[in-house]
Structure 1
Amino acid sequence: MDFRTPVIIPESTFRIDHSTGIMLFGSCFSENMGSKLLEYKFQANVNPFGIVYNPFSVAAVVNRLLSNRNFSGTDLIFHNGVYQSFMHHGRFSHPDKNKCMENISRMFAEAAAFIPRTDVFFITFGTAYVYKLKSTGEVVANCHKFPPDTFIRERLTVEAIVKEWSGVI
């Protein structure tokens, strides 16, 4: 008697090697996979906006990069003694506005230069929940420890995610 079900998985035709350009966006899984790829000397650009969890924010940063729309000082907010962007991870935050913009612009430029060499986009979502600014309705990638009443929390539907990403893909 055999107490298992053998599953035969066909060999994949998808391959990457050390010459494959891989751009990773999204959750901490992308961050960790990207770190491993870089450690093993793959050609990768990892989360140029930092860790971004929700599908709408990931789509927004990918679209912004693909359309080459860099950020400016008007995209920054000052809170808790640092300048930061609602579209970036906290690692970009800085008490000096110019340093914050310099960090954001440098990563944007590196990612934009990597796009023509990109063969594979690796995208992961960490949640279906989004936080929208009450004042504008804009979906943010990071709440940066603003008071909870600054945002409205919503759960995205599968249909909304598919519609948003259909425009990106």
Structure 2
Amino acid sequence: MKLQTSVPLYSEKESIDYQSRLFLIGSCFVENIGRKLEYYQFQTLQNPFGILFHSIAIENLIIRAIEEKTYTDADVFYFNERWHCFDA
């Protein structure tokens, strides 16, 4: 009787090496993986907008960065003594 599911693993053509520049964005999982990568001297930029959980907000940030669109005063608001933006 086989009590495990076998999942075949294949090597990718391109792998991460020390010349790779890694951009990590998302949840606190990113923070933990990012710390490990930094410990091993990988070049990383992680969560420049803070921890994000909502996939649509992450998509919006990436699209705006690619299109080189900046945020304006209309995109942010002050509430409960903090600045907020629906994308971050």
Does the pair score TM above 0.5? yes
Length, aligned pairs only: 87
Q: What is the identity, as a one-letter code, of the residue corresponding to 1:12?
A: S
Q: 1:16 to 1:86 in 2, by over 3 A?
A: same
Q: Does 1:51 align with 2:51?
A: yes
Q: Does 1:12 align with 2:19?
A: no
Q: 1:7 to 1:81 in 2, by over 3 A?
A: closer
Distance 1:37 1:87 in 2: 26
Q: Look up the match of 1:84.
A: 84
Q: Give 1:7 shift.
A: 3.9
Q: 1:58 to 1:4 in 2, by over 3 A?
A: same
Where structure 1 has 5 or more consecutive residues not aligned to the other structure, the ranges are 89-169
SS at structure 1 position matched to 2:61 = helix
Q: Give 1:70 shift.
A: 2.0
Q: 1:5 to 1:29 in 2, by over 3 A?
A: closer
- Map 1:37-48; keep pairs closer than 5 Å: 37-48=37-48
Q: Give 1:78 shift.
A: 1.0
Q: 1:78 to 1:6 in 2, by over 3 A?
A: closer
How big is each residue's C-alpha offset from its partner over 1:112-161, in whole Å with a ceiling of 9 and x where there is no partner? xxxxxxxxxxxxxxxxxxxxxxxxxxxxxxxxxxxxxxxxxxxxxxxxxx
SS at structure 2 position matched to 1:26 = coil
TM-score (norm 1): 0.44
Paired-residue identity, % = 29
* Greater alpha carbon shift after TM alignment, 36-45 vs 70-79: 70-79
Q: Look up the match of 1:27.
A: 27
- Map 1:1-169; keep pairs closer than 5 Å: 7=6, 9-13=8-12, 14-88=14-88
